[in-house]
Structure 1
Amino acid sequence: MWTLKSYNCEHCGSDFISGRALKYHFQQKHLGKVHREKCDQEVLKGKQRGHSESTRDRSTMETHKLHWENLEERNGKYMDTNISKTCRMCSRRFGTVLSRENHEIQDHHFTARKRAQMSTGFSPHNMLECKGPQELQRFADRKICPASGSQRAACAAEIGTLLQLIQTSFPVPASRVIQGGSYVKGTDTQGCSEIDIILLSEVFADVNHFKKQLREGLETLRESLTRTAYGNRILMGKRTPLSLRFSFLCTESLHSHSFEIMAYYDILGPTPSTDLKLHLYCKLYPCKDSDEAQLCALALVRYQVDFVKASVVRVKELIRLMIHWLKTSFASPTEENKFRRLPSSYTVELLTIYIWERAEKPLSFSLVQGMRAVLKLLVQYADIDVVWHRHYPRKFPVLVKVTQKRTRPFILDPVNPTVNVCDTCNAWDEVAHVAKLSLRKPLFSGVRAEPPWLFTDAW
Structure 2
Amino acid sequence: MMDLWQCQAELVELYQTPSHKLNSYITEHLLPNEVFRRNAQDAVDRICSFLKEKCSMNARVIKTVKGGSAGKGTTLYENSDVDLVIFLDCFDSYSEQAQTRDSVIRIIEQNLERCRRSLAFQVDILPPRSKGELRRSLSLTIQSRRKNEAVEVDVLPAFDVLGQITDTFKPPPRVYIDLIYAGGKPGEFNTSFTELQRNFIKRCPAKCKDLLRLVKQWYKVYKKCLREMYQPTVSLPSKFALELLTIYAWEQGTGRAQQFNTAEGFCTVMKLLVQYQDLCIYWTEYYNFDEPIIAEYVKNQLRGTRPVIMDPADPTGNVAWGKGWDLLAKEAYNCLSMPCCMKGSEPVDSWPVQPAKPFDDPRFCIII
Contact 1:222–1:244 (CA under 8 A) maintained in structure 2:
no
Alignment CA distance shift 1:251-1:152 (3 Å) = farther
**2:135 maps to which residue?**
241
* Shift in Å, 1:440: 1.0
Name the SS for the 1:394 alignment partner. Answer: coil
Contact 1:412–1:419 (CA under 8 A) maintained in structure 2:
yes
Once residues 256 and 132 of structure 1 are traced to their aligned partners in structure 2, the CA distance between those partners, rounded to angstroms, is 34
Once residues 190 and 216 of structure 2 are traced to their aligned partners in structure 1, the CA distance between those partners, rounded to angstroms, is 24
**1:16 maps to which residue?**
none
From 385, 396, 400, give the equivalent of 2:296: 400
Contact 2:285–2:312 (CA under 8 A) maintained in structure 1:
yes
Question: Which moved further from structure 2: 179-188 or 267-276?
Answer: 267-276
Contact 1:177–1:200 (CA under 8 A) maintained in structure 2:
yes
Alignment CA distance shift 1:158-1:338 (3 Å) = closer
Alignment CA distance shift 1:212-1:237 (3 Å) = closer
* Shift in Å, 1:456: 5.4
Whether 1:442 and 2:327 are equivalent positions in the alignment is no
From 153, 163, 179, give the equivalent of 1:259: 153
From 425, 428, 432, give the equivalent of 2:325: 428
The alignment's TM-score, normalised by the length of structure 1, stands at 0.63
Amino acid at match of 1:308: I
From 255, 271, 281, give the equivalent of 1:386: 281
Contact 1:318–1:371 (CA under 8 A) maintained in structure 2:
yes
From 201, 209, 215, give the equivalent of 1:322: 215
Q: How many residues align?
A: 331
Question: Which moved further from structure 2: 343-352 or 123-132?
Answer: 123-132
* Shift in Å, 1:169: 3.1
**1:369 maps to which residue?**
264
Name the SS for the 2:313 alignment partner. Answer: coil
Contact 1:126–1:328 (CA under 8 A) maintained in structure 2:
no
From 234, 237, 242, give the equivalent of 1:348: 242
Alignment CA distance shift 1:282-1:366 (3 Å) = same
* Shift in Å, 1:213: 4.6
Amino acid at match of 2:235: R
* Shift in Å, 1:139: 2.8
Matches within 5 A, 1:107-146: 123=10, 125-134=12-21, 136-146=22-32
Amino acid at match of 2:324: A
Cα displacement string for residues 331-354 of structure 1 (whole angstroms, at most 9, x for unaligned residues) = 434798665321212111111111
* Shift in Å, 1:263: 1.6
Whether 1:202 and 2:89 are equivalent positions in the alignment is yes
The alignment's TM-score, normalised by the length of structure 2, stands at 0.77
**1:178 maps to which residue?**
65
**2:307 maps to which residue?**
409
Once residues 91 and 139 of structure 2 are traced to their aligned partners in structure 1, the CA distance between those partners, rounded to angstroms, is 20
Contact 1:218–1:243 (CA under 8 A) maintained in structure 2:
no
Matches within 5 A, 1:163-174: 163-171=48-56, 172-174=59-61
Amino acid at match of 2:276: Y
* Shift in Å, 1:241: 2.7
Q: Which has the larger radius of gyration?
A: 1
Contact 1:189–1:320 (CA under 8 A) maintained in structure 2:
yes
* Shift in Å, 1:356: 0.7
Alignment CA distance shift 1:140-1:399 (3 Å) = same
* Shift in Å, 1:443: 1.5
Name the SS for the 2:283 alignment partner. Answer: coil
Q: Flag structure 1 segments of 5+ consecutive residues without an equivalent.
A: 1-119
